[in-house]
Each structure stands twice: as structure tokens, then as C-alpha cells.
Amino acid sequence: VSTIYDGKTHVAEPTTAVWTLGKPMRPEFSLEPGTDFLNHGSFGAPPRAVLEAAGRWRNRLEANPDVFFREVLPGALREAASALARFVGARPQDLVFVDNATAGMNAVLRSLSFSPGDEILASSHVYGAVRQAIRHVCERSGAKFVVAELALPVADAEALVSSLAERMSERTRLLVLDHIASPTGLVFPVAQLARLARARGARVLVDGAHAPGQIALDLPALGVDWYVGNCHKWLFAPRPCGFLWAHESAQDGLHPLAISHDYGRGFGPEFDWTGTRDPAAWLAVVDAIRFLEALGADRVRAHGHELAVASATKIARAWDSVLDGPAALHGSMMAIRLPGRLCRGLAADRGGARELMSVLIAEQRIVVAVMPIGNALWARISASVYNQPADYDRLASL
Ligand SMILES: Cc1ncc(COP(=O)(O)O)c(C=O)c1O
């Protein structure tokens, strides 16, 4: 076994080189030339070096699948989980891999029991797939889905807190929070909201799909029960690479979507094997963390934040439009309301948003997320390590 896996050979040596963020980073990624990529947030973009690391894991697997799955994977997976746990301030035994944030959120929601009269509370900015999962759980249990409306632009953090706090009741059993809301990039004050919810006896499930890599994380300090994250967005892991963290008091009765051999043997074992899958993306998370740390995680976050805020401000001025909220409530994403003249009469719904995205890609080669929020369409921009100020000029000039 040691000749196949020695626990080290897959990891690139740490580099002392100082990388210049922005345009010089673009060749490190496979992104096609000539397109403005302003939507790192939706699917991420793994660097070539991290994809190569995943490829090396696949080669090792294919050299002897039996040895790999039976003898190599269990240890390698726990080692990768430990590296990720360190990155998010957690204990390794409280963290497991899942395919993606959708799977992690579903695993928690579908492991819990609700009764008629119970309430599950979420913001109107909750991610669409998670909204459907909550609806499903409510339809099966008779629980009520309470949606806290959040109007844009948001004035300050207090507006985020009060929108949800006003809808908490003694019947709230579960608060589902986005750490970074998908439509806008607004960062919710999770610890403060979790304190309010728990004081009322509610449990707290956080969807942190956009958080790892984009903002600094110390999961245990948030005071929540469960935290789901994606590593294939802002942590530069290959896809799909999600994780689920559960407080030690919130692991009993928690099961993966696919029940397998280790059912009943505890949180880690149950999630570590849910049938035969390609584990390369999870194992390469070690290299993704290395990549981010070689660039400097704080430096990357500062680059993303400053670039997102400056670019969104520039675009809002050019469009004579508004931002979704103040700069201080954002990491590396921000949203600008699209002026009517750019919306081509499209409906402010999911279909209209998708169509406008397609038009912008086909006609302008601009990839930017278009979001239906309230009765308007908004453009959400992302700022990743390969983005530079000029990337946003063509969008601003439309
Ligand atoms: C807040 C939020 N939750 C969940 C997801 C779903 O992520 P995935 O498709 O990787 O499951 C996304 C994707 O953008 C998201 O923004």
C-alpha cells in the first residue's frame, strides 16, 4: 500500500513565490480566452495545478481499484477531511465530505423530524434548491415554511438580523441561514442570528456554499448545529467537493442521502462511504488549500473584496443604478440592479434571468450571474484571483 499512497506524494511542495493576483493568474486556470468571467461564484474554477492533483489521485485509483477503495481511500479521505477541518477551525471528526452543498443541506433537512405546527424559517434570499428541499420536508411533515422577506437595498447588518428575528416564534424549530446569500453576496451575521434562534429553542442549519475561501471561517465559534460548505467555489477544489460539519451534539440521527454499509455506525463512517464514487475532488482539497495558502488566503480575500466593491460601484454609476447593500456586508461578490433597458422586456423570474445570461454570453462573451430578486433582475458580479479591474469594463459599458 505504501508504494501506492504514502500520504505525501500527491501534494505539491509549498512555494515561496509571491504571485501577482489578477491578469497574471489567468494562465493558471483553463478559462477560455476572450471571455470575461465575472461569475466565479456559481461553479468556481479549479486551477490547473489542483486539477492535476485530482488527476494523479484518479491514476492511482485506476492502477488498482481494489487496493485503492479498500485500503487507501479510508485513510486518505480522513486525512483530507482533517486538512479541511483545520482550515475551517473544526475537529476532524466533526467534518465529512458530501458531493455538494445541495446534498449536504438535504442530508440535514431530511434527517430531522418535524410535526404539524412546527416552523422552519429562512430568508426570501435562500438558495432556490434549498427552498425546494425545505418545501419537500414541510409537505411531508405538515411543518410550516416561514419566509422572512428581505428587501433590497439592505441598509446595514441590523436589517439582515431584524428581517429574520421578526419572523422567529416559539414554534420555530429550525432556522436555515445562508452565510453568504446567493442572489447578492450579502454576508449574514450568522453568530448573532444563531444566538437569537437558539435562545428560542430553535436549531440552526447554515448554508455556507460560498463561504470557504471567500471569508475566514471558524465554524465552532458560530454557535450553530450544522454547517454545509462547498470547496469547489472559492476554495479552488475540483468539482464536486462539498462538506458537512456537525456540532458533536448534533450528529446523532444525521444520515447521508444514500444509506450504505455503515448505517448506524456513527457520523463519520456513515458519510465516508455512501457507495462507489470518484473521490478525487475530495482528496485534492488538500492541494486546493495549498493553492490558496500559497497565494495568501487573506490577500486573496482582500483582492476579491476590493475588486468586487470597486467594480460594482463603477457599474452602478455607469448604469445609473443601485447596489444591493453597503460594501462592508460583502466578501467577493456584489449585486447591481439591472436597468430596464438591459432587461429586453424579460420577466423578472428564473426563466428571464437564465435567458439574459445566455444572451450576454452569446452576444458579449460576458459571463455574469443574473438573479431575479423581488420584481427586478440583478447582475451579481464575482471577483476571483484571476480577475482584474478591466474585466468589468465591457459589462459597465453596456
Ligand atoms: C447559497 C447556495 N447554496 C447552495 C448552492 C448549491 O451548490 P451546489 O450546486 O454545489 O450544490 C449554491 C450554489 O450556487 C448556493 O449559492
Inform me whether the pLDDT recorded for 164 exceeds 60: yes
Does the CB atom of residue 210 touch ligand 1 within 6 A? yes
Tell me which of 16 and 318 has the higher pLDDT: 318
Q: What is the atom index within ligand 1 of the atom nearest the CA of 239?
A: 10
Instruction: Give the mean pLDDT of the chain.
Output: 95
> DSSP string covering 331-395, please?
SSEEEEEPPGGGTTT--SSHHHHHHHHHHIIIII-EE-EEEEETTEEEEEEE--TT--GGGGHHH
Does the CB atom of residue 127 touch ligand 1 within 6 A? yes
pLDDT digit string, tens, across residues 338-396: 999 999 999 999 999 999 999 999 999 999 999 999 999 999 999 999 999 999 999 99
pLDDT at 11: 41
Q: How far apart are CA 86 and CA 245, in angstroms?
A: 12
Does the CB atom of residue 107 touch ligand 1 within 6 A? no
Does the CB atom of residue 214 touch ligand 1 within 6 A? no
pLDDT digit string, tens, across residues 273-312: 999 999 999 999 999 999 999 999 999 999 999 999 999 9
* Nine cell digits for residue 112: 430531522
pLDDT at 115: 98
pLDDT digit string, tens, across residues 39-49: 999 999 999 99
pLDDT at 239: 98
Percent of the chain with pLDDT over 70: 95
Cα-to-centroid distance, 7 and ligand 1 (Å): 31
pLDDT at 17: 58
pLDDT at 19: 77
Does the CB atom of residue 207 touch ligand 1 within 6 A? yes
Kindly give the interhelix angle for 48-63 and 285-295, rounded to the nearest 10 degrees.
160
pLDDT at 6: 39
Does the CB atom of residue 234 touch ligand 1 within 6 A? no
Cα-to-centroid distance, 101 and ligand 1 (Å): 5
The dihedral built from the CA positions of residue 290, 296, 297 and 301, taken in this order, carries a sign that is: negative
pLDDT at 2: 30
Residue to mutate (ligand 1; options 105, 177, 210, 214; most atoms within 8 A of CB): 210
Q: What is the pLDDT averaged over residues 316-331?
A: 98
Cα-to-centroid distance, 105 and ligand 1 (Å): 10
pLDDT at 3: 33
